[in-house]
Chain A
Amino acid sequence: MIEARGLTKRYGDKVAVDSLSFTVQPGRVTGFLGPNGAGKTTTMRMILGLDRPSAGSVTVKGMTFAGLYSAMREVGALLDATAVHGGRSAHAHLLCLAQTNGIPRRRVDEVIGIVGLGDVAGKRSKGFSLGMSQRLGIAAALLGDPDVLMFDEPVNGLDPEGIRWIRLLMRSLAAEGRTVFVSSHLMSEMENTADHLIVIGRGKLIADCPMAEFIADATAQAAVVKTPDGQLLAEAVAAAGGTVERDEAGELTVRGLSAERIGELSLAHGILLRYLAPARVSLEEAFMELTADSVEYQSKMEG
């Protein structure tokens, strides 16, 4: 379990993380979403004690990171897959990490097997592809068999097979009752992986809710309608507090009302509906809309 309370990080005048409070629960995959520059990595660095919070606190299993009895047995993290000494072999890299916490040597070979780096374990990591480096970083995170795992943008540089592999890995880690906290700036990466979402923008909390609720909220309040009585429907919808848009093909998009409510309205007003369906707002769109105000460096070309 990870608990942040009023967590804040300032760099001079710039606020990277702005009084964040959230709890990451065990037994599920929690997605940590936000546009680039939203403060995800800074938050994770503070969890690991690499950065000191300017205010507030964050604890892992009720302790500050530095206060944990055996850090590697409690928390495993992949923050930056390239943060290894490239001149060292994968095996030596993992061994020197394991030794700090008195983790037996056989566990090094075990995690090398888990991530599938057996063939290159003796090679210097300098020559590794980004995908191989990610696997090495994941092996390091798994070394202590920890209860809490954090991955910062873990699918960066992975091929589709690698992405599938890491999704399954995260799901199985969570199914074992571990806390799995994984960041991404892409909504689509989370769709099949996360059970719960924490969304931030410009360092502030935007949403903290189950995945299903996030999806439901995004799609509930819009519907596509086809009807010969467009004018009548528009009036009925407006009276009920919704808005209607007509596209060139004559399809109506109703916003602010659920499909069920529109069905009830049309029955009450005797309006014939030829088609009624909840609008398919993609998660990507919902996420973009939610974080639109908080994208830090919006492209000037847009618009």
Chain B
Amino acid sequence: MTTAAVPAVPAVPAAPARTRAVPPAPRRPGLPGTLHSELTKILSVRSTYWTLLAQAVASIGWAVLFCAGTVAHGAGQDFNAAQASLAGQVALGELIIVVLGALVITSEYSTGMIRTSRAVMPRRGVLYAAKAIVFAAVTFTVSLVASFADFFVGQAILASKHLNTTLTQPDVLRAVLLSAAIVTVFGLLAYGTGALIRHTAGAITSLIGVIFLIPLLAQALPTPWFQALQRWLPGGGALSPIASSAPPHSPYLFSAWGEFAVFCGYAVILLTLGAWSFLRRDA
């Protein structure tokens, strides 16, 4: 039992060059191929279609109910036609997309697929980035279609009482675009959380907990503290300027772009933590 022994079946150093079934890689496999791969992945599982469909249906349903209610009961003092159409996309869409954002990465851990993925693409940073980019692109595309649908359906209903607005009015198009973008940003928050927690239910629950609980708890603070804090909170009132074409009613909130930037900041923090975990921890 020695390592120096002559092999029983000799190695075949002079084996005839076998024919290659696969052409050599023209360049080192990296982001382009992995983006292609992640697109195939996200489009080949049913959960993608179910969550995106649910998001579209929920946001359009909200737009119909809200606008029909406004037509029936009359517009209130704070009425904003764009917001009437889009508030559902922001309020419900974000909650549904959180599921998909988490699943995109946690399903790899729950199924064990992550080991296969890493064995074919050992550059972990490339894998992490490709997943995030593909998820964001798919989500933004669908959300944008849904936001426009929300807008046109809602305005068609409001038109019966001449309460409607058009895309050419100031800041209306911005409200439509940002409501789709904020849904995508929430999805990315979930993606980062998923990479950190690696467990579907755990990631979704903790993120939704943070979105709901922190604003709720903050309300228990002394009013001046809450007012100073409100614009920075990860949910609640801070979201409301985004779907509206009017400036925020509360002086304690940033403008739509300002609040959008705050949420982007949170997404960057969670995506960075997620990346750190993805690169460092073995799977």
Interface of B is mostly: loop
Cβ–Cβ contact B119 & A48, under 8 A:
yes
Which residue of the partner chain, among A85, A176, A213, contacts B18 with CB atoms under 8 Å? A176
Beyond A95-B40, A99-B37, whether A208 also contacts B1 by CB under 8 A is: yes
A176 contacts across to B, CB distance below 8 A: 15, 18
Beyond A97-B37, A213-B1, whether A28 also contacts B122 by CB under 8 A is: no
Cβ–Cβ contact A27 & B11, under 8 A:
yes
Cβ–Cβ contact A86 & B111, under 8 A:
yes
- Contacting A at CB under 8 A, from B41-76, are 41, 44-47
Beyond A27-B11, A73-B24, whether A209 also contacts B5 by CB under 8 A is: yes
A211 contacts across to B, CB distance below 8 A: 8
- Which of B5, B26, B120 counts the most chain A CB atoms within 10 A? B120
Cβ–Cβ contact B122 & A209, under 8 A:
no
B162 contacts across to A, CB distance below 8 A: none
Which residue of the partner chain, among B11, B33, B34, B40, contacts A25 with CB atoms under 8 Å? B11
Cβ–Cβ contact A210 & B24, under 8 A:
no
For residue A232, CB closer than 8 A to chain B, the reply is: no
Interface size band for A: 35 or more
Cβ–Cβ contact A210 & B6, under 8 A:
yes
- Contacting B at CB under 8 A, from A85-103, are 85-89, 92-93, 95-103
Cβ–Cβ contact B119 & A79, under 8 A:
yes
Cβ–Cβ contact A140 & B116, under 8 A:
yes
Cβ–Cβ contact A145 & B20, under 8 A:
yes
Cβ–Cβ contact A87 & B46, under 8 A:
yes
Interface size band for B: 35 or more
- Contacting B at CB under 8 A, from A236-278, are none
A214 contacts across to B, CB distance below 8 A: 1
Bound-complex Cα distance A97 to B10 (A): 34
Cβ–Cβ contact B111 & A85, under 8 A:
yes
Task: Scan B23-44; emit 1 where CB is below 8 A from any A CB, else 0.
Answer: 1111011000110111011001
The count of A-to-B residue pairs whose CB atoms sit within 8 angstroms is: 163
Cβ–Cβ contact A97 & B116, under 8 A:
yes
Cβ–Cβ contact A88 & B8, under 8 A:
no
Bound-complex Cα distance A104 to B20 (A): 13
Cβ–Cβ contact B118 & A50, under 8 A:
yes
Shortest beta-carbon distance, A112 to chain B, in Å?
13
Beyond A196-B8, A209-B1, whether A89 also contacts B22 by CB under 8 A is: no
Cβ–Cβ contact A92 & B11, under 8 A:
no
Bound-complex Cα distance A22 to B3 (A): 8
For residue B9, CB closer than 8 A to chain A, the reply is: yes
B23 to A, closest residue via Cβ: A104
Bound-complex Cα distance A71 to B126 (A): 14
Task: Scan A128-146; emit 1 where CB is below 8 A from any B CB, else 0.
Answer: 0000000000001001110
Cβ–Cβ contact A26 & B11, under 8 A:
yes
Beyond A72-B120, A73-B24, A92-B44, whether A100 also contacts B8 by CB under 8 A is: no
For residue B160, CB closer than 8 A to chain A, the reply is: no
Cβ–Cβ contact B282 & A51, under 8 A:
yes
Bound-complex Cα distance A175 to B11 (A): 9
Which residue of the partner chain, among A92, A93, A101, A210, contacts B25 with CB atoms under 8 Å? A101
Cβ–Cβ contact B120 & A71, under 8 A:
yes
Of the listed stretches A32-40, A61-69, A294-302, chain B binds: A61-69
Beyond A48-B119, A73-B24, whether A208 also contacts B29 by CB under 8 A is: no
Q: Can you give 7 A-B contacts (C-beta < 8 A)?
A: A27-B15, A28-B7, A88-B45, A97-B117, A145-B22, A195-B7, A196-B7
Interface residues of A (CB under 8 A from B): 22, 25-28, 45, 48-52, 65-66, 68-73, 75, 77, 79-80, 82-89, 92-93, 95-104, 107, 110, 140, 143-145, 175-177, 195-196, 207-214, 217
Interface residues of B (CB under 8 A from A): 1-3, 5-13, 15, 18, 20-26, 28-29, 33-34, 36-38, 40-41, 44-47, 107-108, 111-123, 282-283
Further contacts, 14 of them, CB under 8 A, given A50-B118, A87-B45, A213-B5: A26-B12, A26-B13, A27-B11, A49-B122, A65-B122, A71-B119, A83-B113, A84-B112, A88-B45, A92-B40, A101-B25, A102-B33, A177-B15, A209-B1
